[in-house]
Amino acid sequence: MSDNTPRLLTVAVTSRALFDLEESHRLFEGEGVEAYSAYQRAHEDDVLTPGIAFSVVRKLLALNIGTPPDTPRVEVILLSRNSADTGLRIFNSIQHHGLDIVRAVFTSGEPTWPYIRPFSADLFLSANPESVRRSLEHGIAAATILPAQAHQQRHEHQLRIAFDGDAVIFSDESERISREQGVEAFSQHERARAREPLSGGPFKGFLSALHELQQVFPADERSPIRTALVTARSAPAHERVIRTLREWGVRLDEALFLGGRHKGPFLDAFGADIFFDDSQHNIDSAVLHVAAGHVPHGVANPER
């Protein structure tokens, strides 16, 4: 497969996000690399169970069904801080689960995020908050993924992704006004600028790539992808959002303007496979129902 094969969507995922590696990760943190390496070699024929991102990855790769092998619609790249030697268990598990993942980077303990850009990844999913933060600093859409505490998957053959608006799809310019000057100042600001498009946030590029991929499929219930905007905004702040998406030429299938209501039950009703939000408060509500990706960006996430 050549390096210049055109791709509509590329997602990078870490091994800890793809598989449940928490037991061996605790061993690494408690006893060090030697004990960890010995454990992985001893268990390299034991299949790893799915992790937080497994369902999303499986549904993404299913979008390639019916395409020629050399021109897939989606590629998933594996990034791992394992060595190639200890990573053998991960590749064995990928093959066991039938995941079409062929490109990988094993860094033997070094950070993986520097390799995201050379792969031209549209999205990075990781269980490591520091890697996510560094990726965002370098202009890459990234999220720290957290498991749902209770979730029943209802859409086996459709990938459902939900996004927060401000500081995720859009910049945090309006959210800053809300936090610094209050809700009334925010409402006045948005009414005055209703016809002025919002600037893009860290997930604008990923949303655009996802929208481009959606165009391959029918724009109805037969589509294997469905998206939703789930935002704390309400009227009259809705207009600027709608006009911005129209200006960008981007489709979102559903838009929920919740006016500050807890997002979790609405995400459950939508049946999200994953939800991306910058606010830890909203993430805490979301994970009671669905898997969520925290985007540590903008005014809600000051530098630590």
Q: What is the DSSP letter of 114?
A: G
Instruction: Kindly state the tokens that stand for 25.
Output: 């990760």
CATH of domain 9-146: 3.40.50
141 within 8 A of 157, measured Cβ to Cβ: no
How do 9-14 and 292-294 pair as beta strands?
unpaired
* pTM for this entry: 0.92
CATH of domain 159-294: 3.40.50.1000
- Position 5 scores a pLDDT of 41
**Mean pLDDT within 42-48:** 90
- Position 7 scores a pLDDT of 56
Percent of the chain with pLDDT over 70: 96
Q: Minimum mean pLDDT among 165-169, 177-181, 281-285: which range?
A: 177-181
pLDDT band at 25 (very low <50, low <70, confident <90, very high): confident
The yes-or-no verdict on residue 132 having pLDDT over 90 is yes
Question: 147 or 33, which is more confident?
Answer: 147
Query: Which positions ≥6 away from 204 have C-beta within 8 Å?
Result: 169, 170, 248
The yes-or-no verdict on residue 191 having pLDDT over 70 is yes
Give the number of other Cβ atoms within 10 Å of residue 238's Cβ: 18
**What confidence tens digit (pLDDT) does each residue in 224-247 have?**
999 999 999 999 999 999 999 999
Domains 9-146 and 159-294 fall in the same CATH topology: yes
Question: 76 or 151, which is more confident?
Answer: 76
| Identity of the amino acid at 16 | R
Direct distance between the N- and C-terminal alpha carbons of the chain, in angstroms, rounded to an integer: 42
List the alpha helices (DSSP H) in the chain.
15-18, 22-31, 33-42, 54-62, 88-96, 129-137, 173-181, 183-192, 204-214, 238-248, 264-270, 280-286
Catalytic residues: 164
Task: Show me where the domains of the chain are located.
Answer: 9-146, 159-294
Instruction: Kindly state the tokens that stand for 151.
Output: 């979730």
